[in-house]
A and B are shown apart, each in its own frame.
Chain A
């Protein structure tokens, strides 16, 4: 089942406006900051939120055309894993999973058997008699997935499927979710604000900002050619914009950088990986073709490295070891020299937006 979404949803002063398709057998992540319209997109596909203009189609059937056609969620063959899972607290795990089949007309016994089979398939049959209050977050995620899959949906929608979990269980649950999403034959779409979830689980990532798609590509596309500063920041790199000519890029806001590829001309973007930037207290001598001066604005510890934000032309993020911070005596306000090889700059033409 292919989903054709070409619609906008207006809620108050916010408008979500998206035109795209979702193919079966593909796991799509919808990535974006809070308030970017991720959940609204999911709700519009599910039919929980009617669209204001345009249309939503599932295969060749229009399910919402913003005027006289509106197919309610019950008719859309969707499975939803809501944010925080929303397991029915008054029902056992088995009855939670049996709820869908029961609602779609299965008898009590048939629904119960289907629920048991689904719980076995997901490896959580030992939980069937427990209440949602008696299981862990990771287990609740699996139960919510089982509940959504028990109706055999063609479209699987997950709203922040891992956000409710603590760091320890998250990796294990993500790995398991990956298996289920990959084996799911229909359209799987999940919403997340965590780039790691998007990169590890998705075949395709839609980045939403302020209700619009700003990037649509594979995780590799995102990492190599982030379209916006937001995406670049998520990927942990610095995005510079400017114009290139003759192997030189003049950066918007000041500064110039040598780039390796002299054939790139016009409006370009350039990704600077923080690892490729070297910091010095004295003007460096060496083969690096780009050297410039700056002032340390902030230092952020991150795992076993320190991210150093340097104000300069251009401003950039560098990553150094804590030992280097001590050796160089880096504090906020320290004047530093930066150096970077031209070949370490990934320059590409600006996407037309």
Chain B
């Protein structure tokens, strides 16, 4: 007689687990169910929606690029323990991740507002004003989203086998060549994953943006702000825009299914 080994399915795990799944899936279905499918095309192609979508894509991609250019080096420095207090630096990096986004917005105003810590000099010396501008949106999104990229990349740099870099150094490569031709290609999958997380967070950014950059259509009104504004006047438009954002996210998830949908089962 043989006993068949099956995975146990205890009720005390199955029931709450099913609740969690239902909790995640019901709003999704509700949104799709309430979507004004007939008017969807006209709502989405309205100038307001197209402006918001364009602005969202431009700012979130710019914020991600900025985060990559300065965040990847910071992740490397963190991974190689070059700071006297790596744990403190890491804590500072994680703060925007935990902070309510509206607080991040207030902090950005204190720093880069017209009378802010840095902003007053930017304004008086260079005439640069960041709040209530598209650049301000990029700043708010990058501030909130960059930690995702840095934390992902730090892990990748830490687990990277140092022998590849050692080999490259002994072959005569400068540190820039090693970084460009060995380190970055080896961590490319993590760079992509970190950039996508960062971009998704930037795309969805609301609190810091509305606090620091306001809600000016065509200038600072990104998709989430447009959804919020529409909710007060035209509920079906809000739902239509939400469906559009959902479609963008599902599209990214499908494109990167190798990274996020891969289970551990063989």
Contact = CB atoms under 8 A, between A and B. Distances in A.
Interface in A20-76: 43, 46-48, 72-74, 76
B172 A104 contact: yes
B174 interface: yes
B166 A82 contact: yes
Contacts of B163: 82-84, 86
Contacts of A90: 185-186, 188
Contact of A86 (B166, B177, B181, B185): B166
A72 B185 CA distance: 24
Contacts of A73: 169-170
A157 to B, nearest CB: 8
B167 A151 contact: no
A79 B185 contact: no
Given A79-B171, A86-B164, A99-B173, 6 more contacts: A48-B166, A83-B163, A84-B163, A88-B167, A88-B182, A148-B170
A79 B170 contact: yes
A90 B174 CA distance: 19
Contacts of A94: none
6 contacts: A73-B169, A82-B163, A88-B185, A99-B168, A103-B171, A103-B173
Nearest to B181: A99
Contacts, number: 65
A80 interface: yes
A86 B169 contact: no
B81 to A, nearest CB: 15
Interface of B is mostly: helix
B256 to A, nearest CB: 19
A147 B166 CA distance: 13
A86 B161 contact: yes
A104 B153 CA distance: 29
Contacts of A103: 168, 171-174, 177
Contacts of A206: none
Contacts of A46: 166, 170
Contacts of B186: 88-90
Interface string B174-202: 10010001100110100000000000000
A282 B171 CA distance: 65
Contacts of A195: none
Nearest to B173: A103
A186 interface: no
A43 B163 CA distance: 11
A99 B171 contact: yes
Interface in B114-173: 161, 163-164, 166-173
A74 B169 contact: yes
B169 A88 contact: no
Nearest to B166: A48
A104 B182 CA distance: 15
